[in-house]
Chain A
Amino acid sequence: MTYTIEGKTGAWEIVVGLEVHAQVISHSKLFSGASASYGGEPNTHVSLVDAGFPGMLPVLNQECVAQAIRTGLGLRARINLESRFDRKNYFYADLPTGYQISQFTHPIVGEGTVEIELSDGTVRHIGITRLHMEQDAGKSMHDQDPARSFIDLNRAGVALMEIVSEPDIRCPEEAGAYLRKLRQILRYLGTCDGNMEEGSMRADVNVSVRKAGEPFRTRCEIKNVNSIRYVMHAIEVEATRQIEVWEDGGEVDQETRLFDPARNETRSLRSKEDAHDYRYFPDPDLLPLVVDQAWVDELERGLPELPDDKRDRFVKEYGIPRYDASVLVAEQAIADYYEEVAKGRDARLAANWVTGDLFGALNRTGRAITDSPISAAALGGMLDLVSDKTINGKIAKEVFEDMLETGDSAAAIVERKGLKQVTDTGAIDAAVADVMARNADKVEEYRGGKDRLFGFFVGQVMKAMAGKANPAMVNEALKKVL
């Protein structure tokens, strides 16, 4: 099904490409030894190299290169064994050297692909054009003083990976799915924390619209959108704007725009006419970056299992539905948690408990899987009690809630509350007889063909036994007498 926006002149298709800036997880910056960690008092993570002092020279951080290669491998992309750093020259107060060192013509990573899955189960592949490394600029602060601006160079020189997609995205949902998937891969790889609030992942969104079957029309770039939700909004808002321009007989200008989420509109930032002439040229302070295949192979061997592979394995190994598997691999920590719960147990049951009750509880309490109040071992312990029929599924819910509150083990709770399942046929038979006696009319109806009433009897027996009866045995006993 193609996503379209209905205009006055009919349906319009949208075309989107994304440029994602992902901050590399590394101890030090791309070309200096200064700390690359987030936060810190302004200008405390700055070396003389970052501040562009006279005579200072960049030295490439090998770990950042390894991170870029890992990411490239995770995007199933071509690794270019020879790449190059260029200077992109422009003046700005937060750019200390007057140029940004970036891989412009020869990126370290070439074409790749990212598989996304939409809510209706459709699987699509979004092409990756390239991934290149570059240094971040500093931060200008205009709100500290009425007359002056301050500059914080803590981020200046921090390594970024710019991941450029092909214009393969056709609707906001795909853009969202792509960003989530990208973030998931980066987090699995440990190459970027994907934290959009802290700015360690930001997106430039290229949007154009066209009638079905047409070639691409003029695109606009929406700069620095910092949440997935905003990206999706911005696409819709910008596409709608462009359709209006075209339909009113106008022409969409190629320009850079800003998305204002408060007013739900995009605004022109600068047009192509006053676009910067960046004057790119190869950075003479750095030699071409040459990596050997053996190192790439070694990095590849060290990669973790990627989310798609993990999902496929979960389906195969645990026999759980693809959708559940996708949910479970959303984060490495969840997948790890699940695998610990499922190990040697009923994997489907484990999946249900993790995606159902556990996720519900985490959502309610606003906690992450990594500080789940119920450990994987504890949840496993509870499932063991279900499996060996110590408790039934209904009691298990009660035990689970208690575990959440008290942090006690399932076994202890069952012991403390006397929740052990009743499997004594005598007791069950007695309860059944009692229920039959008290509901003679219903028994009549049932025998008259009203099969649905069977559930009523089960419920009554369970109620009579405070929920502790073994449901299978209750069923059996009822069937016998009915």
Chain B
Amino acid sequence: MQKVFDRPVSLKDVQTHFCPGCQHGTIHRLVADAMDSLGVQQRTIGVASVGCSVFLYGYFDVDVVEAPHGRAPAVATGVKRVHKDKIVFTYQGDGDLAAIGTSEIIHAANRGEKLTVIFVNNTTYGMTGGQMAPTTLPAQRTTTSPRGRDVAVDGYPIRMAEVLAALEGTAYSVRVSVNSPKNIIQAGKVIRRAFELQTQGVGLSFVEVLSACPTNWGMDPLKANERVASEMIPYFPLGCFKDITAA
């Protein structure tokens, strides 16, 4: 019988610690698939950020450096400057990349660092218990926006894929989602492309992945996926905002 589905070799055979319905596992799988299909696992170095995704090294079977909160693009810059022939990626949440680490991602992109950045946007701070994120939607209730995000007080959700697309050093900036099988397949293609572009050394490749946080949203996983479609995608449109290799 033909085997049609297996664990990617870039992923370890371990149990997940993520909450039920969390999509980090799905995104990890897509990143591992990309490494496998490009055959780069043995020369890849991951940079773990702070938040739910810090345990990167527990799942990916690659060398990993852990960065302070928000600083993964700076740490990755140091790694890539030493290992110019290696594949270096960061994996960051929305608090990490779009709040405390805005400076680091903007400038790494602007320098055109040859890095792949996986940006997981679930509109909340997951690990610290569901506080307001820079991507929290207007009127969304969180533990620090208990009456709902008021844009007059809290400002507006940041569309990072569009922001980074505006920078010269960004080679590829795409927003995908993992809320449906169709979107997961598309996300996989985009993540693979983001790693492939790094092997071509054209600049920073950035993939924003819309993702659910059922625990902190107070929803079951199906409802959470529905919310991604009904509330997140309208504000954070899916699509490619920049691809310097496109004809």
Co-complex (A, B): no
